[in-house]
């Protein structure tokens, strides 16, 4: 598997032969399919929150769709996709050159007159490679990606019906693409995104954390109380809707249903890693004290403080 988006971020473990085969296919056909790019458990979680999401019709120069705006799912997925590991893989497969950021929209297409796209090239805004990720919960009809070279007509027709599958495809002046209209009653829900050379995002989650902290502070004022401080004997479980990403010594933790999130430094990221492995607070404190050569009592206090902060944001549950 070339790449997969999991609850712990992007995993890229392709072998040399897999990368060589992927490059050859992309070079010949200008696209590549990434089967099960979103792991099934995470996909079910995303679909659960999208069932009640509100999509609003939006018009672009090249067509119309129903777009999801200002939604926790879209915000968290945007951060998870801005991962240097994924950027490196895309560069190795496509040869597109440096990638500074990932931008996207989460949309829905239904069988309604006017909801379709004309041929276009996506060359604006320093876009290098495009991606379409299928988030649908049922097999729709239509909604097929078509890619053509301008003087020669349709050269590739690429349906994307696999749940969680992704298709990456080349953005270039000599190429155009479109998505065909939906047929029937079932909608298509997908992410349409672009890997861009500029701007360069070093920490794309800063704005999301700032909004989350404002919401957490306002909620604490309304309730006039906070959760009890944990003890070393408490059992801590990561909430089912929580995902995380570790890049450059920083770990981003977020609830995909609420967008409440928290940023961790390298030590905090190690504590989070041990929590994700199911370790208890005693064993986590012992491991951190041993690894960092710090006094056990001081480490235990820091671990409990971090757990309390995570619980305040509904990222963990303390039993």
Give every CB contact of residue 216 below 8 A, 6+ residues apart in sequence. Answer: 260, 312, 313
What average pLDDT score do residues 143-164 get? Answer: 89
CATH among 3.40.50.300, 2.60.120.620, 3.30.420.80, 3.40.50.720 for 4-196: 2.60.120.620
pLDDT digits (tens, 9 = 90+) for 32-72: 999 999 999 999 999 999 998 999 999 988 889 999 987 89
Containing 155, the helix (H) or strand (E) segment is strand 153-158
Quote the pLDDT of residue 44: 96
d(CA 161, CA 159) in angstroms, rounded, equals: 6
Quote the pLDDT of residue 220: 59
Q: Domain residues of the chain, as ranges?
A: 4-196, 206-318
Q: What is the mean pLDDT of the chain?
A: 91
Task: Report the sign of the C-alpha dihedral through residues 297, 299, 305, 307, in that order.
Answer: negative
Quote the pLDDT of residue 69: 81
Quote the pLDDT of residue 219: 66
What average pLDDT score do residues 183-212 get? Answer: 88
d(CA 109, CA 43) in angstroms, rounded, equals: 18
What ranges in 171-280 are assigned the alpha helix state H?
206-223, 266-276
d(CA 231, CA 55) in angstroms, rounded, equals: 44
What ranges in the chain are assigned the alpha helix state H?
16-29, 40-50, 72-81, 84-94, 206-223, 266-276, 281-292, 296-312
The radius of gyration computed from the CA coordinates of the chain, to the nearest angstrom, equals: 22
Contact yes or no for 304/229 (Cβ under 8 A)? yes
pLDDT digits (tens, 9 = 90+) for 256-303: 999 899 999 999 999 999 999 999 999 999 999 999 999 999 999 999
Task: Report the sign of the C-alpha dihedral through residues 202, 204, 207, 213, in that order.
Answer: negative
State what percent of residues in the chain have pLDDT above 90.
78
Contact yes or no for 307/236 (Cβ under 8 A)? yes
pLDDT digits (tens, 9 = 90+) for 206-258: 778 887 887 776 665 455 456 688 999 999 999 999 999 998 889 999 999 99
Residue 205 has pLDDT above 70, yes or no: yes
Architecture of domain 206-318: Orthogonal Bundle (1.10)
């Amino acid at each position: 598997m070339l790449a997969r988006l999991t609850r712990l971020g992007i995993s890229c473990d392709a072998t040399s032969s897999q990368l060589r085969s992927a490059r050859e296919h992309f070079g010949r056909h200008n696209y590549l399919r990434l089967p099960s790019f979103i792991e099934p458990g995470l996909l079910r979680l995303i679909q659960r929150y999208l069932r009640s999401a509100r999509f609003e019709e939006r018009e672009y120069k090249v067509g119309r769709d129903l777009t999801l705006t200002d939604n926790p799912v879209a915000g968290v997925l945007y951060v998870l996709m801005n991962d240097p590991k994924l950027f490196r893989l895309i560069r190795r497969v496509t040869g597109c050159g440096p990638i500074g950021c990932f931008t996207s929209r989460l949309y829905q297409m239904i069988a309604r007159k006017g909801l379709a796209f004309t041929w276009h090239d996506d060359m604006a805004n320093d876009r290098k490679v495009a991606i379409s990720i299928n988030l649908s919960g049922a097999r729709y009809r239509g909604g097929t990606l078509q890619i053509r070279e301008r003087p020669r007509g349709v050269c590739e027709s690429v349906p994307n019906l696999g749940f969680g599958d992704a298709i990456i495809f080349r953005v270039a002046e000599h190429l155009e693409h479109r998505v065909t209209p939906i047929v029937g009653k079932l909608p298509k829900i997908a992410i349409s995104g672009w890997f861009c050379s500029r701007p360069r995002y070093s920490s794309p989650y800063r704005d999301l954390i700032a909004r989350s902290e404002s919401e957490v502070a306002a909620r604490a004022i309304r309730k006039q109380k906070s959760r009890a401080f944990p003890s070393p004997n408490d059992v801590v479980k990561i909430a089912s809707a929580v995902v995380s990403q570790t890049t450059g010594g920083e770990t981003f933790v977020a609830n995909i249903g609420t967008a409440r999130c928290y940023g961790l430094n390298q030590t905090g990221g190690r504590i989070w890693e041990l929590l994700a492995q199911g370790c208890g607070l005693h064993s986590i404190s012992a491991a951190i004290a041993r690894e960092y050569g710090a006094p056990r009592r001081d480490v235990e206090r820091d671990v409990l403080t971090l757990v309390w902060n995570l619980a305040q944001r509904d990222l963990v549950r303390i039993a």
